[in-house]
Amino acid sequence: MAEGTDQTAYLQAFVQGLVDGGIKDAVVCPGSRSTPLTVLLANRDEIRLWMEVDERSAGFFALGMAKAQGSSVVLVASSGTATANYYPAVVEASLSDVPLVVITADRPPELRDVGAPQVIDQVKLFSGYVKAFAEMATASTGDGMVDYAWAWGRRAAEMARSEPMGPVHCNFPLRDPLVPDLEATGRPMHSGHLPLGDKMPGVLLAPRRLDSEITNRLRELLEETANGIIVAGIHPAPDFNRDLLALARRLQYPVLADPLSQLRSDGTQDRLIISGYDAFLREPKVRAWLRPDVILRFGPMPVSKYLTQALNEWSDVPQILVDKIARWRDPNHARALNIVETAPSSLCRDLAEGSDTKDSVLRSGDWSRRWIRLDEIAFESVAAEGDGLWEGSVMAELARWLPDGSALYVGNSMPIRDLDTFWKASRGFVRIWANRGANGIDGVVSSALGASTKAGPLVLVLGDLSFYHDFNGLLASKLYHLPATIVLLNNDGGGIFSFLPQSSLPRFEELFAVPLGLDFSLGVSMYDGKFVRVRTLEQFREQMEASLGAKGLTVIEVPSDREQNVRRHRALWSAVGRQAAGMIENWEQEA
């Protein structure tokens, strides 16, 4: 075979492996060195190709797509610095368990370290942030090389989605000619289906379960401890929420539900779901009064700084961290931490089904009622402070009427914190995402638009700096006519810094707030989007309702004054703290 035909057959086998591994989407940036990979992926009916021009946006677009569908997405780049632009998205995918197959084209070995153009060291480019790395052999059809290529394609796709999910990197050194020989047939590839049925995956993912002795010991501990709490971190599986709530009802433990746990937004509205803890746990007296006797925690640490602070103050309280993979996700270094590596849903079912704990009507509910009443106080204060349109009221409004089946993506810094404070358990089912692996503001627009390809109607809430940081990401909405609503909280700068000690420093505006003074309407029109600016709650509701039924992109800007925003937040937190402390004084007098 000619060299170009050899390379075509070799890469065809790799692409076939991706298909057999379940790949259905590939996000590709145009480039010369990656030409054969791009063309061969585009030539497969089983794979939808999404073209992106900006590699950094492309990486986050693929991440949002993979996060929304829960399965592997391919990401392709040419050689050189193009590959390095994927680094932020790969880091986020690694830290937030998102399955990506990152494929980078590279110069062949003879063109490395000799001054050839567009060459950087791409070997293990993403360091420890990938689950696996393969420096693929140069193309050949001899000595089992086609099978090798096919096996790595399938392996990469399935390894990315196995627990813990994450990115896998394959680096391809490619020689000229780069245009594939599409007339070359190569030898036929076999899908490798197991004899268990045509729809069985190549990797069978069986949940880990504890043996009965350890399960019984955990059950006994929980049965003997009335004043316990459950802390639910990020978890995407609705079935887990059902199993966790069944256990919570059995034990009568309040569930401190992170907004990304989906517990606040799956339509359950169980009274044991506590949403306002970020507000009332700011009060030291409340944290002392609510000190539990056991903590049952699932998944990553929650968003709330004050819940983290409470867990730190309770570090000598027995804490059971349940995670699918035994990662030490405990920045507080709790002295009484016990890590249980098992499938969370299975453990909840085993603990609830085998429990002898008395029904909730017979077991004392004083402990859970304290939490429920404080939760009510928090949201009564939110309602009282919610007059007019401001940054906090945006999340409260969305929680009240975002339609069933919709999706919400939230930016970092202040939006995710406002989500935590103002999002009360909603009646409808709303999927909520944020990039909380590395907590960065980069790539949020692209991540949300990627998610919109698999879920919708989608609303993204973010600040002006995050919007500016990934403005290129809007191109995907134009190219693919993606329906999305972006709520832009424009306080002309880094709003979160106004809440931090830096706000008292000289030259604060210059060094930290960095006001941009940009009119985003001009840029939005460039991407064929609709831009509206609203100043009242009535206008916000009207424009949101119109945008959710519209095609394409709508950006709704909510202007905000940073100093006024700080005052309103602090007034709310102060009101919650006063009422919560007063309630505790009453309880102490009654005791």
Q: What is the pTM of this model?
A: 0.92
Q: What's 188's DSSP letter?
A: P
The per-residue pLDDT string of the chain (591 residues; one tens digit each, 9 = 90 and over) reads 455 688 999 999 999 999 999 999 999 999 999 999 999 999 999 999 999 999 999 999 999 999 999 999 999 999 999 999 999 999 999 999 999 999 999 999 998 989 888 899 999 999 999 999 999 999 887 888 999 999 999 999 999 999 889 999 999 999 999 999 888 654 445 454 444 344 445 666 666 778 888 899 999 999 999 999 999 998 766 678 899 999 999 999 999 999 999 999 887 878 999 999 999 999 999 999 999 999 999 988 899 999 999 999 999 999 999 987 767 788 888 888 888 888 888 899 999 986 555 444 345 678 999 999 999 999 998 887 767 899 999 999 999 889 989 999 999 999 999 999 999 887 778 999 999 999 999 999 999 999 999 998 999 999 999 999 999 999 999 999 999 999 999 999 998 999 999 999 999 999 999 999 999 999 999 999 999 999 999 999 999 999 998 889 999 999 999 999 999 999 999 999 999 988 888 888 876
* Amino acid 1: pLDDT: 45
CA 397 to the chain's CA centroid = 22
Task: Give the class (CATH, top level) of 212-364.
Answer: alpha beta
The torsion angle over the Cα atoms of residues 217, 221, 222 and 223, rounded to 10 degrees, is 90
355: helix, strand or coil: coil
Q: Which two tokens stand for residue 376?
A: 């009510």
Which residues neighbour 280 within 8 Å (Cβ) at sequence distance 6 or greater?
286, 374, 375, 377, 378, 576, 577, 580
Domain with CATH 3.40.50.1220 in the chain: 212-364
Structure tokens at 450: 């990627």
pLDDT of residue 416: 95
Instruction: Say if residues 337 and 312 touch (Cβ distance below 8 Å).
Output: no
**CATH placement of domain 3-173:** 3.40.50.970
- Look at residue 205 in the predicted model and tell me its pLDDT: 63
Architecture of the domain delimited by 391-559: 3-Layer(aba) Sandwich (3.40)
Distance, in Å, from the CA atom of 462 to the CA atom of 490, rounded to the nearest integer, reads 9
Strand-pairing partners, residue 408, are 432, 459
**CATH 3.40.50.970 location in the chain:** 3-173, 391-559
What pLDDT score does 361 carry? 39
* 3-state secondary structure labels for all residues of 240-300: HHHHHHHHHHHHCCCEEECHHHCHHHECCCCCCEECCHHHHCCCHHHHHHCCCCEEEEECC
**Cα 30 from Cα 454, distance rounded (Å):** 23
Alpha-carbon span 392 to 87, nearest angstrom: 33
Of 450, 356, 459, 484, give the one whose Cα is nearest residue 398: 459
Gap between the Cα atoms of 88 and 78, Å rounded? 17
Question: The tokens of 124 are what?
Answer: 């293990």
Q: Which of 82, 91, 24, 94 is nearest to 58 (CA)?
A: 82
